[in-house]
Amino acid sequence: MTTGEGRFADSVRSQANELWEQSFRHPFVAELANGTLPEEKFAHYVKNDSFYLTVFAQVQAQAAAKAADLPTIGRFAAHAQSTVEAEHALHETFFGMLGIAREDHFLPAPTAYQYAAHLQAVAARGSLGEVVAAILPCYWLYWEIGERYRDAKPNHPIYDRWIATYSGTWFGELVAEQVDRLNQLAAAASAQERERMARWFLISSEYELAFWEMAYTLEAWRFAGQSTSDGASAASRGSGGHRG
């Protein structure tokens, strides 16, 4: 996907290529595409992705606050709304199809927690360009997975719908918009800011790969499930919230 001014997005995408190729080949993605992924692993993914999406929407809203003009503010607000309405609605559907319920005090797995913290840190201290660089792999990688597996036939009602969502035209348009925006912001940034933008893009790409592994291995905190001094489960003390 090459759009917009300059080729900064192409450059960071190239730097992240091996990480992305590992994501494309990860057993979680490959088994989802062929319909053999155990639902227990997808359920672990959905629970943690729902947590992550809450943070992701918050970071999109923070990006709107960093924007200098009304059209850009409006677009980031629209992206945050899309995350809330479209992706959370999809996850609610998955929760129902999987027969699982939301937990009031859900404790995200370590990788989901750390990825969310990375985005929050960039949103708190970084420029608009840095925020876009940090969040773009989430959009762009999923779109490439959707394109790569567009013709896959999992013959599984949940996995069919997941692939259809991320190969959809509406999602591709959101990705193209953010790729354009990254190129425009990079063109106006200093060399030091562009270096930070590239770093955040690569770190987020690492976390995207780690997220598949987290789901596939049912990653959890070592202390999860242990009794605390007051007899409550450690998991009940997790952060509230539901991928941004």
Give the residue numbers annotated as catalytic, written as ranges.
138, 208
State the first-to-last Cα distance of the chain, in angstroms, to the nearest integer: 24
- Which amino acid, one-letter code, is at 192? Q
- Round to whole Å and give the CA distance between 187 and 212: 32
- Round to whole Å and give the CA distance between 148 and 159: 14
Measured between alpha carbons, how far is residue 140 from residues 5, 56, 203 in Å?
17, 14, 14
State whether the Cα torsion 168-128-187-201 is positive or negative: negative
- Which string of b and e fits 66-91 if b means at least 16 CB within 10 Å? bbeeeebeebbbebbebbbeebbebb
State whether the Cα torsion 220-226-228-230 is positive or negative: positive
**Tokens 């370590």, residue located:** 110
Please report which helix (H) or strand (E) contains residue 81, including its range.
helix 70-82
- Give me 119's structure tokens: 């985005």
